[in-house]
Each structure stands twice: as C-alpha cells, then as structure tokens.
Amino acid sequence: MSKSSIQSRIVRYGELKPCKTAFIDAHTPGSDQKENFTIIGGGVSESPDQHVHITDKIGFNIGAAGQPPKCRNSLHSHTTAEVFFVAKGRWRFFWGRYGTAGEFIAEEGDIFNIPTGIFRGFENVGQDYGMIMSMLGGDDAGGGVTWAPQVIQDAQDHGLMLGDNGVLYDSKKGEELPHNVRPMPLLTEEQMRDYPEVPVEDVIGKYVARYWDLMALSSQKPAIVIGESGVIKDKPGFEVDFLSRGSSTSDVSKAKKPVVLMPASGHWKVRVEDVETSISNGDTVLVLEGECYSVEPSMTGNAGLYRITATDDPAGATWTGIQN
C-alpha cells in the first residue's frame, strides 16, 4: 500500500470544503448560512457544487454540517440511518411533522442515532460556529432526502425548486426546471400519517448516548455505541464503538471491513501500514479492508474517539429489534 494512497484518505478539519447550496432550504431565512460537507461517499447533497473528499463506497457515508449560531437545518426524513455526533458547539435536535414532537440539547461528543421515518431538524444553539459529524447508512444514503411539505413551499418562495430528479434549480441564477423534469411532489396528508410523532422519552431513552457516559463505559475496553448489543441497539449497516485512554491500544489490528476513525476529543496517534500521523477533533481517517492499523492517544488529557466499522447488515429502517 503506497504512502500517498493512505494520505489521501486522511481528511483534516481545516481542509474540509463546504457547499453552501447543498439543500433546498439554502435560501430560506434561518437556514441560508449552513454549510454541508461530504467526506466519504456520495452523501445526500442536492447540489452539483458539492465537493466529495473521498469517493470510495464502503457501505455507509461520512459527512458533516457546519452552522453559525441560530442557523437551522429544516425538517426532513431518511430511509436509512442518520447518526450525528457533536464535534464543536451545542446543538438542538427536534423532530415531528412541525418539529414540535420533541427536542433535546446535545453537547460536544454526544451521539444521536435518529430513528428512520420521522421528520427531524437541528439547530446550532451555541455561541460560535458549530460542527456536527454524520454517518449515513448505505452507499447511496437511502436514496436522498424527503422534505416536509412546508420546507419545499418555503424554498419556492425564495427561488429554489427541487425537481423530481432530486436536483436543485435556482431561479435567482436564471435556472428553470428542464422540460423533462417536474417539481418534486409534496407529500399528501395521507402520506404524512406514515411519519410518526415519537415521544421525547422514547427518543432520548433509546437513541442518544452521552459523551461522558461513553468515557466511563470505555475505561477498560471499547464501548459499543451502536450495534446489536450497543448502548444504542441498531444494525444500520455499520457498527460504532468508542475508545478512550483506558481502552485504546498500540497493538496493530487488521481491518476485516472498512473502518473510519473520528476523534471526539483529544489528540490521537494513528498508524496505517507504514504511515504514522496524528489526528484530532473534526479529522477523519479511512482504513480500507485488509489494512493494518493502530490508534492511541498521543497527548495527555481527555481523549475520545468514534470508530465506525462496516458490517454485513443491510442499510435500511431502524432495526425492529429495539422494540423488543
């Protein structure tokens, strides 16, 4: 494995390239300052301007959203997993037809596996520019985004039209829908009944894991965060575990499936084959199947890291086993 190949699969926070026109609400007041990042895989951006850092198909996507204070991402839904952890700042997540079914505040390092089939949104409620890192199920991330009807209507009032081909057209740039493309149809009231209003106690109790709890759980061995036996019980096509100082090791492992390393805090020494580097919060490393790697904290102080590993489970709806 060449050194250059491995270096091309290390994406630094400071080198992330944003897209400010990724989604239909890019002109809607309150959502017009957000930035979308596609780190690994195609992502779910609706804009041809979206930069993709690593195009490898590994069974899931890695991305990020960056937003200034008071900026929100509008209500939408996915058919595969959408998992976020807070890299920087404080974020409010909310869900339901109008975003009023429930909400909670996530702090740095907290992780949220949003149930499929519900409308969800999020807002930076911190004091500075914030960043949340995302994991999306499937190579095609479930085929894209389904927007709440009012989001599409609001966007049209501000010049953005979404075609039924999943592509955005900006009337402010003189763009029109091609002759063979129709506007994305709004969900009917009958269809909307398929999107449940999930109580807040069910969401927080089953789908949220807090950073400091994971630090405690990983004091001696990695904590399984998302998996059949995880803190969050789901099988979205990938498994997430959490490493801290007590559970990390300099021992070399051989990746049986693609692995993504994403620090939540501290500085980490990563070795992939013959390349050694250090990574920190906001950085992403892709380890390919068959490569040997090790990871351990490189400095004193708190250090937490999310490790995402592809599995043979199909990407799809939130695993029904969590209802048992």
Average pLDDT, the chain: 93
Half-sphere exposure of 99 (CA within 13 A, CB side): 17
Nearest CA-CA partner of 44 in 52, 56, 32: 52
Tokens 């927080």 locate to: 204
Q: Where are the domains of the chain?
A: 13-207, 211-323
317 pLDDT above the threshold of 50 = yes
CA distance 138 to 165: 19
Query: 45-50: long-range contacts at Cβ-Cβ below 8 A with a sequence spacing of 24 or more?
Result: 45/19, 46/22, 46/144, 46/145, 46/162, 46/166, 46/167, 46/168, 47/19, 47/21, 47/22, 47/23, 47/168, 48/167, 49/19, 49/21, 49/22, 50/19, 50/22
CA distance 298 to 3: 21
Half-sphere exposure of 276 (CA within 13 A, CB side): 8
Q: With beta carbons less than 8 A apart as the criterion, state whether 79 and 143 touch.
A: yes
Percent of the chain residues past pLDDT 90, beyond the cut: 80
Q: With beta carbons less than 8 A apart as the criterion, state whether 135 and 145 touch.
A: no
Bridge partners of 307, per DSSP, are 241, 261
Considering the domain 13-207, what is its CATH architecture? Answer: Sandwich (2.60)
Q: Of the given ranges (42-56, 200-214, 270-284), which has the lowest mean pLDDT? A: 42-56
Same fold, 13-207 and 211-323: yes
| 117-173 residue pLDDT tens | 999 999 999 999 999 999 999 998 766 789 999 999 999 899 998 898 888 999 888
Check residue 232 and give its pLDDT.
Answer: 98
Check residue 3 and give its pLDDT.
Answer: 53
Go through 84-99 and write b for each residue having 16 or more CB atoms within 10 A of its CB, e for each that does not. Answer: bbbbbbbbbbbbbbeb
| 210-252 residue pLDDT tens | 999 999 999 999 999 999 999 999 999 999 999 999 998 888 8
Instruction: Calculate the dihedral angle through the C-alpha atoms of 308, 309, 314, 315, rounding to the nearest 10 degrees.
Output: 20
User: DSSP letter string over 110-158?
Assistant: -EEEEPTTS-EEEEE-SSS-EEEEEEEESTTGGGS-EE-HHHHHHHHHT
67 pLDDT above the threshold of 50 = yes
Check residue 322 and give its pLDDT.
Answer: 42
Q: Considering the domain 211-323 in this protein, what is its CATH number? A: 2.60.120.10
Alpha helices (H) in the chain, listed in sequence order: 3-7, 149-157, 189-192, 200-207, 211-217
